[in-house]
Structure formats: C-alpha cells, structure tokens
Amino acid sequence: MSKQKDKNKRPKQKIFDIFKNNFIMLGKVAKHTPEYIFLMIAEGVVWGFLNSAVAVFNYTLLNAIDEKGDFEYAVKIILFMAAFDILAYAFERWYWCVQNPIIKQKLHMKMHRELFVKARSLDLSCFDDPEFYNDFVWAMNQSDRRAVEVIEDTGKLINRIVNSVTLFTILITVDPIVALILFLSSCVAIVCNLIGNKIGFEHDKEGNPIWRKNAYINRVYHLPDYSKELRTNRASELLIKEYEENIEKQVKMNIKYGKKYFVVYGLGWQGIGHITFFGILLYMVSLLARGEIAVGGFAASIGVIWTIRSTLSDLIERITKYSKHSLYIEKYLEFMRFEPQITGGKKDIPEFESLELRNVSFSYEFASHPKYKFHSKDHKVAEGAEGKEALKHVNIKISKNDKIAIVGYNGAGKTTLIKLIMRMYDPTEGEIFYNGVNIKEYDPEAYRERIGTVFQDFKIFATTVAENVMNGAYTEDDEQRVLDALASADFTDRLKTLDEGINTHLTREFNDKGTNLSGGESQKVAISRVFARDYPIIIMDEPSSALDPMAEYNLNHSILHNTEGKTVIFISHRLSTTRIADKIYMFDTGELIEQGSHEELLKMNGKYAEMFRVQSEKYQRQ
C-alpha cells in the first residue's frame, strides 16, 4: 500500500533542479541548432517591443486627442506605428513560416539520432521490461518536443518581460493601486500553474501505457504484416475489444484529471483573474464618474490594463511551464544517463581459434538491469524467465572450422545460448572464453563484429536487395560481394526474375514498384548477410525454418560449401539440418543432455534419436 502511495505521490522539484534541467536542454539546442537560440532571442525582443508599442501607441494617441486635440501629432504617431508594425510583422512571419520549421526539423533529426544511438547501446535486458519500454517511448516522444517548447517559451518569456516592463511603467504612472492588485493576482496565478503543471505530468505518466497500447493496436491495423491474420481469424474482435476497453480507461482517466484541472485552472487561476479584472474595471469607472480621469484617458487606461492582464497571464504560464518542462526533461536525461551493464575491456581481438563455455548458467530474472529488476508483480517477467534458469551448467568448446548444431525442442534454451555467445547478456554463473580469454575483456561491439548472425525472427527492411544483404550502406564496389552472397544463399534463380536485380526495392511500403518476397525467399536474403562479410564465426538460428525439404537440402549444402574455413553454429529443431554438423549438442529445459555426431547420438538411442525418428516419420508421410 505504501508503495502505491509513493507511486502516486506528486513529483517534487527543487528550484535549482528546474533551472538546471532547463539550462541543460537549452544547451543541447545551442549545440545542435545555435541559430535557433539567436533567432529566438531576436523574435522575443522584436515581438515584445511590438506588443508594447501597440499599447503605448493607443495610450499616447487617445491622450493626444483627448487632452490636446492635436490631430497632426496624432497622424505622425499613426505613420510611425504603421512603419514599425509592418517591419515587425514581416520579420515575425519570415521567422515562423520560413526559418522555424527548418530549424525544428534539424533539431528533431539530431536529437532523435542521439536517442537511436543510445537505444542501440543499451542492454537487450532493458527491452524485456515494460517499465523500461514505457520510459524509452516517453523519451523518444518528448525529447525534441520539450526542447522546442523550452526554446520557444524562452523566446516568449523575453517577449512578455519586455512587454510587461513597458506596460507596468505606464500603469504605475496612471494608478499604483491597480498595478499592485494585478501583481498580487499574478502571484496566485503562478501557484495555480505550478500545481497544474504537476497534475499534467501525472496525467501524462499515467496515460503513457494507455496511449502506447492504442498506438500498438492502430499499428497492427495499418501494417501489412498483420493483414492476413486479421482477415482469417478472430484476433480482430479481440483487438477491437481491447481498444474499446482501453478507451474507457482513457475516458475515466480524463475525467479524473479534468476535475483537477477545473479546480486549479477554472476556479483558481481564471476565476481569480476575472474577478480581479472586473473589480479593476469598476474601480476605473468610479474614477471616471468622479471626474478624476477623462474619457480618453479612461479608454487608454482600460486598454493598457487589458493588455497587461493578458500579457501577465501568458508570462506566468511561460514561467511556471519551466517546472513542467523540467519533469519531462528529467525523464529524458535519466534515459540518456542510463548506462549499459554489458561493458568490456580494451583488449585487441585476435584471429579466432576457439570459443568455450565453462559451467554457464543463466536466468533472465537475475540478468536484468538493476533499475528494471523483474521482482514487481506489476511487471511481466520476460519469456522463459519465471524465476527459473534458462540454462544450467553448460560446458561446450568450439574450435576453428567446426560445424556444430545446437538442437532441442522449443524452450530448450537454444536461442538463449546464442544470446550469451553474442554477449547480449552475461551469464549469471560461469564464464565464456574467446581464445582462452574471458569475452568480458573485449569491447562488446568489436567482439560482435566477429560473429555473423541470422536470427529466427530476422527482419527484411524496406530498402533495396543490395542494402538488405549488406545490412547497411551499399556502393557499386560491393556489387560482386552482394551477388556472391546471394548465390551462397541459393537466391540466384529468384534474383534473375527481379527487373532491377539487386537494386530492386523490397516491400511496397515506400515504393509502389517494390517486391514482396515469400517467407523462404526473405529468409535466403537474410542468410546472405552472413556471406557478405568475412565473419570467422557464423550463427544460424533456424536457417531453413521457412523452406520446403528440397530447398532446405539445397541450402544446407550451399552453406556447407561456402563456409569452408569458418566456424558455423546451427540452431535448429529440424534435424535434417543437423546431419551436416561435425558435432551436435542436444538441449532439454536448459540442460545439455547429449552430445556427439549424428551417428553417435542415434546409437545412444536417447532424446536426439527419439526426436530424429519422429521427424523422419513425418517426412516419410509427406
């Protein structure tokens, strides 16, 4: 119960933290788009003088006519104001219509690039947890938006300060009492805004998981990946029901926070503001009735008071928004400060000779990041992590040029083993050695560059065939490498049917002339990636899962032929693939239970032999 109270407690901030966070964000804007800072200051000053000039102009003009009847002087004031107004508006429109959109896009690109790089550097365990994913989505959605709001609120703050100083100077000369009343009502408005900003932050925090689920359901309906399933089963009914329930939650949440907004903004800020203004209006009418002020002066004063009220209201909103910005910026900064736990040393990585796992055990529950431990009942534990070990005391040694197979039924721990070899996770017990040196002594990125991997859940990107094969940028110098890689993956025949060859765009998401490949064809393109670069170690997770038996047979022999001099690790539960391996490791519920060649394991007549007989019978029936 106390934990729930702590969770719902409004965030508190020190004044220093508010200033610090906002200055950090302004510094980031200055780093990425220095012109934004300069133009923001210029726009704030120009617009501030323009707003002030309008009030001063009206006040001076009405007084000139009312007191002096000097119409020639009034014409000069009008002409001067017209020239100033035209120039100021021309600058303002140029800034907002031409420069501002360009600068915003530039800032968006640079800040999101930072977030992409940061996300890529984080441990895989972070993405197994919903709490982290919520924070990541929040940071991604809020970062450049908050940066823009901070910079533009700062520009408007300069504007309002310039405007307010000028108008208050005029108002004090007219009536100090009115100036004091407006100042006091502004203090009340500041308090209301600070409370409202914290309520708004709580609203966004509570709503983020709800909005994320809505976004997921929307994405399911517009992505082609789900189109067939939605039309051939009842998943659509389930999703629509989920969507409706989620909207109901959103409505309840909006009612809850709407009441709070009404009290703070409606009754508090706006209510007191309106009472203050109409009270001042009655006071000014009494001065007019007593003849203490002329009609022109009355009209001019009311104009100044109305402008000051509007300006002060906006000034207060800008000032208090910095506390709200700080809450969001803190989330963003927290994400950017988040450091991966998978770090390494600086040892040079030698040519591959051996890879050894010594007494390796692993549990997802204890491998998660300290900030996102999976102990809370509110968070779903990663698949396979339900407090048990995914791998138990595994010992394997793989030498240069070995062709090995990791086999077992689903959930046996095969993919987890590969994640450990790739150092996506660290073992919770035991060690992994590369050439006799613990892999923690090497830089993780440099270490992974030695391993070419095709995962079972591979992805084809909406780019050209060549860019998909290279898994990145492609130049004409890479042409033969791409063609050879596709040939090694047995994709040559299909390539001949593509009008633009390796320059053909895959998927039609962004190109009407793009090509949608079948599952097996896509898998071959994914497999070709490991042949496009000189990897000493190649890992293939279910490399033929989308292929028919004949295509699987051809691909296996092609892989065997094109990986001479390389170490290959096959992961499979289809044992037709494993027959080409030098050694097979059979896993069951996280334990290595059998090992040997295909023939040796059949003679053991254990789990592997049983699995092989079941699959052989299935192929014979086909």
Tens digits of per-residue pLDDT, 579-607? 778 899 999 999 999 999 999 999 999 99
75 vs 360, which has greater pLDDT? 360
Residue 153 near residue 321 (C-beta atoms within 8 A)? yes
The tens digit of pLDDT for each residue in 305-322 reads 767 767 776 777 777 788
pLDDT value at residue 377:
32
Average pLDDT of the segment spanning 404-422: 88
Token couple for 27:
């510094």
Going from the C-alpha of 40 to that of each of 77, 98, 159, 384, the distances in angstroms are 29, 14, 10, 52
The tens digit of pLDDT for each residue in 149-168 reads 888 888 888 887 877 777 77
Token couple for 407:
């086999």
Residue 236 burial (C-beta neighbours within 10 Å; 0-12, 13-18, 19+): middle
Token couple for 268:
């508090």
| CA–CA separation, 556 and 543 (whole Å) | 9
| Residue 491, number of CB atoms within 10 A of its CB | 26
Binned at pLDDT 50, 70 and 90, residue 142 comes out as: confident
pLDDT value at residue 184:
75
Choose the weakest-confidence range: 103-112, 382-391, 413-422, 594-603.
382-391
Binned at pLDDT 50, 70 and 90, residue 429 comes out as: very high
pLDDT value at residue 234:
67
Average pLDDT of the segment spanning 514-534: 88
Give the rounded percent of residues in the chain with a pLDDT score beyond 70: 81
Average pLDDT of the segment spanning 385-399: 81
**Closest to 565 measured CA to CA, from 535, 596, 601:** 535
Specify the length of the chain in residues. Answer: 622
| CA–CA separation, 486 and 533 (whole Å) | 12
Choose the weakest-confidence range: 169-178, 199-208, 331-340.
169-178
- pLDDT for residue 217 is more than 70: yes
Residue 456 near residue 545 (C-beta atoms within 8 A)? yes
The tens digit of pLDDT for each residue in 471-511 reads 888 888 999 999 999 998 889 999 999 989 999 988 877 77
302 vs 482, which has greater pLDDT? 482
| CA–CA separation, 202 and 257 (whole Å) | 9
Helices (H) and strands (E) in the chain, counts: 22, 10
Residue 469 burial (C-beta neighbours within 10 Å; 0-12, 13-18, 19+): buried
Beta strand 403-407 with 354-362 is: unpaired
Binned at pLDDT 50, 70 and 90, residue 293 comes out as: low
Going from the C-alpha of 364 to that of each of 381, 387, 418, 445, the distances in angstroms are 8, 8, 14, 22
pLDDT value at residue 7:
46
Burial letters 342-374, b for 16+ CB under 10 A, else e: bebeebebeebeebbbeebbbbbbebbbeebeb
Please enumerate in sequence order all residues whose Cβ is within 8 A of that of 203, keeping only pairs 6 or more positions apart, or say none: 253, 257
Average pLDDT of the segment spanning 27-40: 90
Average pLDDT of the segment spanning 340-365: 89
Residue 242 near residue 214 (C-beta atoms within 8 A)? no
Beta strand 583-588 with 429-434 is: unpaired
**Closest to 581 measured CA to CA, from 597, 565, 594:** 597
pLDDT value at residue 54:
67
- pLDDT for residue 380 is more than 80: no
| CA–CA separation, 332 and 193 (whole Å) | 22
* Three state DSSP letters for 570-594: EEECCHHHHCCCCEEEEEECCEEEE
Residue 60 near residue 77 (C-beta atoms within 8 A)? yes
Token couple for 382:
């990663």
- pLDDT for residue 439 is more than 90: yes
User: Using alpha carbons only, how large is the chain's radius of gyration in Å?
Assistant: 34
pLDDT value at residue 603:
92
The domains found in the chain, sorted by start residue, are 10-214+251-337 (1.20.1560.10)
| CA–CA separation, 160 and 473 (whole Å) | 49
Binned at pLDDT 50, 70 and 90, residue 423 comes out as: very high
Q: What is the DSSP letter of 292?
A: S
474 vs 273, which has greater pLDDT? 474
pLDDT value at residue 3:
43
Q: What is the DSSP letter of 533?
A: T
Going from the C-alpha of 444 to that of each of 258, 323, 480, the distances in angstroms are 49, 39, 30
